[in-house]
């Protein structure tokens, strides 16, 4: 089968299209013929491995898994011995642990769900990681309630565009931090207020919020503390800066113990029931993925180049080979 393989860490040029053997599903996995793929900053970090912690997990000198994982949608072609929820022919979406940039890949049964009609494979593929991260941040970690005020830093990206829609659906008033070129987009998704981060410091407007979702991770815990109401929560999702993340964990942990505010660092886990819930919301047209750019399979290195700019307005999708 065709797959994009990276035998070394590096920039997108290390991704090469090759013929490799299709994987075989383990007991609790399904083998899927991929129809559409979306890529996330997680794959970018795995490709570059510029963060040394990634090398500890994925291989010190070179990646152990040479085909990167990804969000995919496709048709089940075989199931493992202990799979009970799916059968060949089912159309599914989910997140591959590795091996997503290929013609066939395996998904754990508990990280996949049936694609509800009438969703197209492209819509389904654009969904898993970004929507589940947004849902976990707002509902589970952020415990967002109707009528509350939420600020989303990084509102125009893959997770941000789902977060704005979900927060609005949960009855919150949304302030979106994004550049002015994306203000119209986030308003159309349900944001009431926007703050252009290139013009204004969102931590110095005098406004406070019940919940802050930080998808960028470029602000100090002191800055974030200033804009959280008593009893409010701050969920750190994007940890782009090691020093700020460490301070968030240490000082945020101390503030969580000594004040009524809570500072939470999260790591999303894809679960079938959450994916199914998101699928239902999409089939009822209550939320939708925002697709910024589409690439052919052979253009995967170009898709990664764009991902690396960190300028995506929503999601980047790739069609299957
Ligand atoms: N903790 C977890 O469980 C978890 C799970 C998944 C992902 N993540 C992380 O979450 C982060 C966000 O992921 P994503 O998929 O949403 O990323 P993304 O789609 O790549 O985000 C791109 C968006 O970020 C905006 N942006 C860039 N710099 C900004 C800034 N300084 N202030 C405000 N917005 C800015 C860009 O808008 P402009 O062009 O207007 O700047 C662009 O629309 C990533 O770091 C990812 O690794 C964490």
* Model confidence pLDDT, tens digit, residues 97-145: 899 999 999 999 999 999 998 999 999 999 999 999 999 999 999 999 9
The Å distance, Cα 161 to ligand 1 centre, comes to 10
The Å distance, Cα 223 to ligand 1 centre, comes to 19
The Å distance, Cα 236 to ligand 1 centre, comes to 12
Residue of minimum CA distance from atom 39 in ligand 1: 311
Distance CA 159, CA 132 (A): 9
Helix, coil or strand: residue 116: coil
Instruction: State the average pLDDT over residues 193-206.
Output: 98
Instruction: State the average pLDDT over residues 226-233.
Output: 98
User: Which domains does the chain show, CATH number per domain?
Assistant: 2-127+289-319 (3.90.180.10), 130-265 (3.40.50.720)
Q: Which residues contact ligand 1 via a Cβ below 6 A? A: 40-42, 129-130, 133, 153-154, 156-160, 177-179, 182, 197, 215-216, 218, 237-238, 240, 266-268, 310-313
- Which of ligand 1's atoms lies nearest the C-alpha of 265? 1
Rg of the chain (C-alpha set): 20
The Å distance, Cα 142 to ligand 1 centre, comes to 18
The mean pLDDT value of the chain amounts to 97
- Which of ligand 1's atoms lies nearest the C-alpha of 129? 6
Closest to 144 (Cα-Cα) out of 177, 176, 165, 171: 171
Q: What is the per-residue pLDDT across 152-182, written as a single tens digit (0 to 9) for each?
A: 999 999 999 999 999 999 999 999 999 999 9
Helix ranges (H only) for the chain are 41-48, 52-58, 121-125, 128-135, 158-169, 183-189, 221-226, 242-258, 272-283, 300-308
pLDDT, residue 152, reads 98
Residue of minimum CA distance from atom 13 in ligand 1: 159
- Which of ligand 1's atoms lies nearest the C-alpha of 181? 40
Q: What is the per-residue pLDDT across 8-60, written as a single tens digit (0 to 9) for each?
A: 999 999 999 999 999 999 999 999 999 999 999 999 999 999 888 889 989 99
Instruction: State the average pLDDT over residues 227-237.
Output: 98
pLDDT, residue 257, reads 98
Ligand 1, from 238, 270, 308: best to mutate by most atoms within 8 Å of Cβ?
A: 238
The Å distance, Cα 216 to ligand 1 centre, comes to 5
Residue of minimum CA distance from atom 44 in ligand 1: 238
pLDDT, residue 240, reads 82
Instruction: State the average pLDDT over residues 289-299.
Output: 98
Confidence of residue 321 (pLDDT cuts 50, 70, 90): confident
Contacts of 195 (CB under 8 A, 6+ apart): 175, 176, 177, 178, 202, 205
Could you tell me what percent of the chain has a pLDDT over 90? Answer: 95
- Which of ligand 1's atoms lies nearest the C-alpha of 133? 5
The Å distance, Cα 312 to ligand 1 centre, comes to 8
The Å distance, Cα 155 to ligand 1 centre, comes to 8
- Asked, as a colleague might, if the bond just before 57 is cis with ω within 30 of 0, I would say no
What does pTM read for this prediction?
0.97
Ligand 1, from 160, 198, 244: best to mutate by most atoms within 8 Å of Cβ?
A: 160
Distance CA 16, CA 128 (A): 25
């Amino acid at each position: 089968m065709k797959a994009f393989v990276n035998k070394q860490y590096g920039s997108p040029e290390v991704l090469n299209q090759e013929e490799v053997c299709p994987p075989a599903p383990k007991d609790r996995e399904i083998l899927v013929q991929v129809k559409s793929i979306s890529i996330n900053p997680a794959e970018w970090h795995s490709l570059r491995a510029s963060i040394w912690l990634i090398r500890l997990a994925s291989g010190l000198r070179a990646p152990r898994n040479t085909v990167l994982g990804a969000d995919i949608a496709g048709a089940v072609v075989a199931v493992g011995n202990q799979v009970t929820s799916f059968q060949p022919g089912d159309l599914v979406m989910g997140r591959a642990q590795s091996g997503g940039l290929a013609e066939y890949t395996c998904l754990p049964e508990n990280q996949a769900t049936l694609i509800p009609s009438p969703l197209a494979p492209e819509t389904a593929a654009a969904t898993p990681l970004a929507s589940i991260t947004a849902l976990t941040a707002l509902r589970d970690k952020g415990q967002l309630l109707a009528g509350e005020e939420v600020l989303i830093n990084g509102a125009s990206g893959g997770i941000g565009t789902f977060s704005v829609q979900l927060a609005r659906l949960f009855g919150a008033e949304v302030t979106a931090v994004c550049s002015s070129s994306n203000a119209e987009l986030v308003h159309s998704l349900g944001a009431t207020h926007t703050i252009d981060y290139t013009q204004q410091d969102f931590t110095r407007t005098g406004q406070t919020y019940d919940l802050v979702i930080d998808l960028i991770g470029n602000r100090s815990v002191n800055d974030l503390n200033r804009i959280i109401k008593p009893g409010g929560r701050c969920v750190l999702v994007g940890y782009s800066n090691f020093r700020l993340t460490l301070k968030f964990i240490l000082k945020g942990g101390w503030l969580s113990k000594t004040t009524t505010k809570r500072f939470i660092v999260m790591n999303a886990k894809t679960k079938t029931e959450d994916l199914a819930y998101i699928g239902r919301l999409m089939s009822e047209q209550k939320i939708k993925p925002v697709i910024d750019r589409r690439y052919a399979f052979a253009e995967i290195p170009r898709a990664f180049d764009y991902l690396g700019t960190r300028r995506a307005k929503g999601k980047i999708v790739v069609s299957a080979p």
